[in-house]
Amino acid sequence: MMDVTTTSPTGSFTSILDPKDVSALDLAAAYTQRWEIESVFDELKTHQRGPRTVLRSKSPDLVLQEVWGHLCCHYAIRTLMWEAADHAGVDPDRVSFVAALRIARRSISVARDFSPQASDHGWRHAIALLGRRLNPTRRLRSNPRVVKRKYVQWHVKRARHRSWPQPLDHPEPAFPEHRVPN
C-alpha cells in the first residue's frame, strides 16, 4: 500500500522516509492518476448537479442527506459506465460521463424506473448505447522540461520541442487491483 501525501499550510509532504519503500515505477504510475479526483469533482459540480447550482437544504442534516443523494447518483452512473466498459472490453476512461448522465436521465424520464439489475431492459439498453459512444483512446503524452518565458535555468519553449520523444506504452497502474484486462 502506498503512502498518502498530505497538504499543510507549509506545503505538501509525505511520510515515506525510505526511498526503498516505494519503487520509482509505482510513484510514476500514481502520478499519472493524481487528477482523477478533480475529474470527479467536475462531474459532480458541473455536469450532474449543474453549474452555479447551490444545495437547497437549509439544515446541516438535510445538506448531508442531499450530498449523499448526489454521491449515490454519481456512484450509479459510474457503475453504468464501468459495466458499459466491461461489456465493450475497453478501459473505463473511454466511457463519457456526460453521455452516461444523459442516457440515464433519458431512461428515467421514459421508463420512470432505472434499476441496475441484470434483467432490466433499460439498464442493458443504456450499456449498449454507451458502448457505441466511446471516447477515442487518449494519446500518450510527454512534455519537455521547458518554460514559455526565458529563465536562467531552463530553455525557452521552441518549435523543436514539439517533436519531443513520446512514450511508447502506458505506465502500469499504481494499484494492481485497478488494472484493466486487455
Angle between helices 97-111 and 121-132 (to 10 degrees): 150
**Among 101, 148, 143, which Cα is nearest to 126's?**
101
Nearest to 170 by CA among 135, 136, 138, 134: 138
Predicted confidence at residue 13, as pLDDT, reads 59
| CA separation for the pair 99, 84 (Å, rounded) | 12
Mean predicted confidence (pLDDT) in 94-103: 91
Distance CA 30, CA 175 (A): 8
pLDDT at position 119: 47
Give the model's pLDDT for residue 138.
72
* Average pLDDT rounded to a whole number, residues 104-132: 72
Name the most confidently modeled range: 11-15, 30-34, 58-62: 58-62
Domain coordinates of the chain in residue numbers?
42-49+56-137
Quote the CA–CA distance of 22 and 126 in Å, as a whole number.
41
- Among the residue ranges 23-27, 104-108, 170-174, the one predicted with the least confidence is 170-174
* pTM beyond 0.85: no
Of 53, 43, 41, 2, which Cα lies nearest the Cα of 23? 2
